[in-house]
């Protein structure tokens, strides 16, 4: 059987045989190179056939070896490694290295990578002046996005994207500094003095220190909460060609420096449809308020009054594996932080929904946002920080996508086509003759 697709154009009765390309898993999706669609023409002057796909929901914009998702089976893997194994056995910086460079590091490589990241966490002192220019009530994500773009002015050599050593230096800087930018944005929003990085702490521990340190000589993070935050970072490193990854690749395809490209990706994440879903879950749980209100709320969802937030996913048609990991970790968090009635409501809501044919038949299973917001809140993070917390680990994934894009010979500057539906040619009418 030939790996081709034969198309009959009923306009011309001509046949076109188009090649089919496959990835690692042929059953996961075969693709027709879009350039071959151009061969299908109604006449010699015809531009050729385009694919019309709003939102790129069925378009492969690239070939990638970074992340694999099987939404039907609830599978998420970074570079082939199951997310469950990485969350249990690894740490964020090791997973960031894996995601960026394709292989788990040796001990020597990990030690060097950890050292390099740790010693790039400081920001230029002039960044304080930039932070001070924001309103006292500026949203932390807005400050984060702006600061990322501003960092490009401190490292003008970053525009030399074809130099591997320069690229690596910017990758190290960005992975290291996003935590500091995020923490300073939070401190500014609270009117608190900025806290400098503590290079003796882990990546997650250092971030907690920059967030919450007050008058103590040295901040000592709770080891359980430090571990939970590290796992949250691992779970959010990458998620294939989502909106923000696509933005990173699109802007990066113009050969913009990685700071500006990352700022664009973070801007995409700032949108509530992408990075704000866990906030919507918290609002829902507060609205439910009590366990006895759950059945009535479920009935209103089924009646179409509103959606069940934190359930369902564009990709996953099964239980989101990240949600399963967080569900198991949540009780350990609350042993430290104290009980939270919203966790009990969430667990009972999940139980009822997963036993209801309405949700099961629609493949509405809990996603990562269902539990992440509850845990973030337990860790003391305000809701405004949720998208920023998403962006910190996703920086490694965005940079992996950017690096892969630059090294892919098939890639060109992003330039989608359109189906034009406007006017045909019109002659200009003087203003006095216009009706």
Phi, psi (5° rounding) for residue 92?
Answer: -60, -45
Strand order in the sheet with 81-82: 67-70, 75-78, 81-82
Residues 6+ apart with CB under 8 A from 145: 263, 266, 267, 270
**Positions in the chain whose pLDDT score sits under 50:** none
Q: Distance between CA 220 and CA 228 in Å, rounded? A: 15
Burial of 29 (0-12, 13-18, 19+ CB in 10 A): exposed
Per-residue pLDDT, 367: 87
Burial of 414 (0-12, 13-18, 19+ CB in 10 A): middle
Q: Distance between CA 375 and CA 368 in Å, rounded? A: 11
**Residue pair 374/346 in contact by the 8 Å Cβ criterion:** yes
**Dihedral sign, CA of 368, 373, 374, 379?**
positive
Q: Which of 269, 419, 292, 388 is nearest to 345 (CA)?
A: 292
Per-residue pLDDT, 214: 94
Strand-pairing partners, residue 75, are 70
Known catalytic residues are 274, 313, 369
CATH number of the domain at 87-409, please?
1.10.580.10
Q: Tokens 């009590």 correspond to what residue?
A: 290
Per-residue pLDDT, 1: 56
Burial of 413 (0-12, 13-18, 19+ CB in 10 A): exposed
CATH 1.10.580.10 range(s) for the chain read 87-409
Per-residue pLDDT, 222: 97
Per-residue pLDDT tens digits for 350-401? 898 888 999 988 888 888 888 898 899 999 999 999 999 999 999 999 999 9
Q: Tokens 């490193």 correspond to what residue?
A: 237
pTM: 0.92
Per-residue pLDDT, 278: 82
Per-residue pLDDT, 275: 80
Q: Distance between CA 19 and CA 3 in Å, rounded? A: 6
Burial of 328 (0-12, 13-18, 19+ CB in 10 A): exposed
CA distances from 430 to 420, 422, 425, 426, 434 (A): 26, 21, 16, 13, 7
Phi, psi (5° rounding) for residue 222?
Answer: -65, 130
Q: Distance between CA 313 and CA 290 in Å, rounded? A: 26
């Amino acid at each position: 059987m030939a790996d081709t697709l034969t198309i009959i154009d009923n306009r011309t009765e001509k046949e076109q045989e188009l090649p089919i390309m496959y990835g690692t898993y042929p059953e996961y999706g075969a693709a027709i190179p879009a350039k071959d669609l151009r061969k299908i023409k109604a006449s010699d002057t015809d531009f050729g056939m385009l694919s019309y796909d709003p939102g790129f929901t069925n378009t492969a914009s690239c070939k990638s070896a970074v992340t694999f998702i099987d939404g039907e089976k609830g599978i998420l893997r970074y570079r082939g490694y199951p997310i469950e194994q990485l969350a249990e056995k690894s740490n964020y910086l090791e997973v960031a290295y894996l995601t960026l460079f394709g292989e788990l590091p040796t001990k020597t490589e990990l030690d060097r990578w950890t050292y390099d990241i740790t010693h790039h966490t400081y920001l230029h002192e002039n960044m304080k002046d930039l932070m001070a220019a924001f309103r006292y009530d500026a949203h932390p994500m807005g400050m984060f996005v702006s600061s990322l773009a501003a960092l490009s002015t401190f490292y003008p050599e970053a525009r030399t994207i074809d130099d591997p050593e320069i690229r690596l230096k910017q990758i190290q800087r960005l992975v290291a500094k996003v935590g500091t930018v995020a923490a300073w944005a939070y401190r500014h929003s609270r009117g608190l003095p900025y806290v400098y990085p503590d290079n003796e702490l882990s990546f997650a521990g250092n971030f907690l220190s920059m967030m919450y340190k007050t008058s103590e000589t040295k901040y000592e993070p709770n080891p359980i909460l430090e571990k939970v935050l590290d796992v949250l970072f691992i779970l959010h490193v990458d998620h294939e060609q989502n909106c923000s990854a696509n933005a990173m690749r699109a802007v990066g395809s113009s050969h913009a420096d990685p700071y500006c490209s990352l700022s664009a990706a973070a801007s995409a994440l700032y949108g509530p449809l992408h990075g704000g879903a866990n906030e919507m879950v918290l609002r829902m749980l507060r609205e439910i308020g009590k366990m006895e209100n759950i059945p009535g709320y479920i009935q209103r969802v089924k009646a179409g009054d509103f959606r069940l937030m934190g359930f369902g996913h564009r990709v996953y048609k099964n239980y989101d594996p990240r949600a399963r990991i967080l569900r198991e970790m949540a009780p350990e968090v609350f042993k430290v932080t104290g009980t939270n009635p919203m966790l009990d409501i969430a667990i009972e809501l999940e139980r009822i929904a997963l036993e209801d044919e309405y949700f099961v038949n629609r493949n509405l299973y809990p996603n990562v946002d269902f539990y992440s917001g509850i845990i973030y809140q337990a860790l003391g993070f305000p809701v405004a920080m949720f998208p920023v917390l998403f962006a910190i680990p996703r920086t490694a994934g965005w940079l992996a996508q950017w690096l892969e894009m630059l090294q892919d010979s098939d890639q060109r500057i992003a330039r989608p086509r359109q189906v034009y539906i406007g006017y045909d040619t019109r002659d200009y009418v003087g203003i006095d003759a216009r009706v």
